[in-house]
Structure 1
Amino acid sequence: MNIVVPLLIGVLYVCLNSLIREPHRRRFNAIMIAGAGAAYLSGGGLGAWEFPFVAVLAYVAFRGLESWRWIGVGWLLHTGWDIVHHLKGNPIIPFAHDSSFGCAICDPVIALWCLTGGWSVRDLPRLLSAPPVVATRTR
């Protein structure tokens, strides 16, 4: 359950967010990663190190206003921060001991979606039926 539930939360996040029309979907997710950067700020247990992470994710979120890749990178950075907090800091939800571990499972699901362009679930049948793209090497 410690793995399945966070995976389902990640899938639910993707499904719900994919219903937002572009370009609002990308901008909304850029704001979400900025907020995720500050999630540990009030008690993450890593002291002053929390502030540089907030600054890094604020920059990543700003770049994410125009790029799904930056948002995906932000979720991967947050995954790493979740792991650090699970091992050395305080959990993201103070009363749920393994919440940072769960967040570290959930975030890569969201990152993968972002890194693949933040597509809509409405587009899924079309994406699945498209012929595969074969890379060719040119000289």
Structure 2
Amino acid sequence: MNYLSPILVGVLYALLMSLIREPHRRRFNAVMVAGAGAAYLSGGGFGVWEFPATAAITYAAYRGLESWTFIGIAWLMHTAWDLLHHIKGNPIMPFYHESSMACAICDPVIALWCLRGGPSLISLIRGRTARGTARPHTVDH
């Protein structure tokens, strides 16, 4: 399995999300992680246990409507669920056996970005090239 691609997908996700202005970026990401939390519902292989896992991730995503920290936590919860599916359950994409492991590598990259407050990477890059240092950002909790 290629381990670099899922990392790049996580970085690309954060870059694309940087095109959305705050507070819409935070709210959009809360919706995205709620959707990711439901990804295994139609056949993840853990039967009825798929429902409480989805509910827990959805709750964290709901709290994420007002907190980047909760969005990061929800992505880490999804990471744990991905790992369990890779070890014992069904892959997130039935046609790609390693998809749950790839997701488990990608999700923490997104989670780290969220735990840093979901800063605009585009603004950070522009600030670094314009002044030689990154612009400080604020974290809303």
Structure-1 residue corresponding to 2:52: 52
Q: For residues 77 and 36 of structure 1, what CA distance do their matches in structure 2 show?
A: 10
Question: Could you say what secondary structure the match of 2:110 adopts?
Answer: helix
Q: C-alpha offsets along residues 78-103 of structure 1, whole Å, 9 cap, x if unaligned?
A: 00000000000000000000000000
Q: For residues 74 and 129 of structure 1, what CA distance do their matches in structure 2 show?
A: 31
Q: For residues 131 and 26 of structure 1, what CA distance do their matches in structure 2 show?
A: 19
Structure-2 residue corresponding to 1:70: 70
Structure-2 residue corresponding to 1:29: 29
Q: For residues 112 and 131 of structure 1, what CA distance do their matches in structure 2 show?
A: 18
Q: For residues 57 and 70 of structure 2, what CA distance do their matches in structure 1 show?
A: 10
After TM superposition, list the pairs within 5 Å mapping 1:1-139 onto structure 2.
Answer: 2-125=2-125, 126=127, 129=133
Q: For residues 14 and 102 of structure 1, what CA distance do their matches in structure 2 show?
A: 17
> In the alignment, is the contact (CA less than 8 A) between 2:15 and 2:121 conserved in 1?
yes
TM-score (norm 2): 0.88
Structure-2 residue corresponding to 1:137: none
Matched to 2:133, the amino acid is S
* TM-aligned CA deviation for residue 121 of structure 1: 1.7
Q: Which runs of 5+ in 2 are unaligned?
A: 137-141
Percent identical: 67
Aligned residues: 132
Q: C-alpha offsets along residues 36-66 of structure 1, whole Å, 9 cap, x if unaligned?
A: 1100000100111100011101110110000
**Looking at CA atoms only, which structure, 1 or 2, has the larger radius of gyration?**
1
